[in-house]
Amino acid sequence: MSFSPRTQMATGVANSKKAEIDSLTDQINNAQYEVDQLTAVVQSLTAKSTQFSQFLNEADSNKTMALGHLNKVTDIASSAKHTRSNTITSVKQTREAKQSMSQAAEQVSYLINKLILAVELIDKQVQSVNKLKASNPIIPDQLISELSKASTDANNAIATTLTSISSGYAAEASLLEAFKIAERGYVVATNLHNKIIQTGNPDNANTKTDLGKESAGIQYLLQDAYDQAVKTYGQALAANDIVTVQLAFSQTQLDDATASLNSLNSGYSAAEAAAFAA
């Protein structure tokens, strides 16, 4: 059976259009597959990016908190050191005052002994003069009066000195209590300061010569915690940056693949319309 040239031409055009449409269909299917794959990748990376952003925010928050704790314990260590320095000064001053007070008490005790001896001597003189006055009226009454006054003054001096000694003992007792308080303050401040700044080696906690974290001071442990927080933050930042780059790259690929798919769909529609028109 033979066909006219016109029929043969029409058949050839139809076959050509069909081949073009079939080719576009294959390309569209491949492009759609690529778009689907890239969409899945972008969705996965988007979810991962969100998660890594949360990790980064948490790491940053932990780092800030660790730094705050470290700064706070550093301030406490400084205050403890200052307090210890002040208590050292207080202990020294109260010790010196106590020694001075003891020396003064010894001197006052020596003085009162001399006053008592003086009173005894004056009393003996008064008794002797009174006896002489009884047998010798020439002795003036003024002498007896002066000796009696001297005896009274000496006794008053003894009473005043005894009062001073009593006050001195009370002051010495207060100084002794202040000395004990200052010593206790020094011990407490020193123990606190040492507990804060004591060093250790958490990485060697099982060695016989190092008790590890149990022997480490608070400041050392918080410094180690801050260092770990900084390290964790750096790792989270690096991971987040990598995912961000991967997401941007995959999104660009998806955009290109989507544009290519849209172009193929447009070409397919045009080819299909041309085929129907023919």
- What is the second-level CATH architecture of the domain 44-277? Orthogonal Bundle (1.10)
pLDDT tens profile 38-89: 999 999 999 999 999 999 999 999 999 999 999 988 888 888 788 778 777 7
- Residue 278 is predicted with a pLDDT of 58
Q: How far apart are CA 224 and CA 201, in angstroms?
A: 10
- Residue 199 is predicted with a pLDDT of 58
Q: Is 236 exposed, middle or buried (0-12, 13-18, 19+ CB in 10 A)?
A: buried
- Residue 246 is predicted with a pLDDT of 96
Q: How far apart are CA 271 and CA 148, in angstroms?
A: 148
**Cα separation values, 31 from 208, 254, 265, Å:** 67, 10, 10
Q: Is 131 exposed, middle or buried (0-12, 13-18, 19+ CB in 10 A)?
A: exposed
CA 243 to chain centroid: 34
pTM value surpassing 0.75: no
Query: Which residues of the chain carry a pLDDT beneath 50?
Result: 1-3, 8-10, 200-215
- Residue 259 is predicted with a pLDDT of 95
Strand ranges (DSSP E) for the chain? none
3-state SS class at 139: coil
- Residue 49 is predicted with a pLDDT of 95
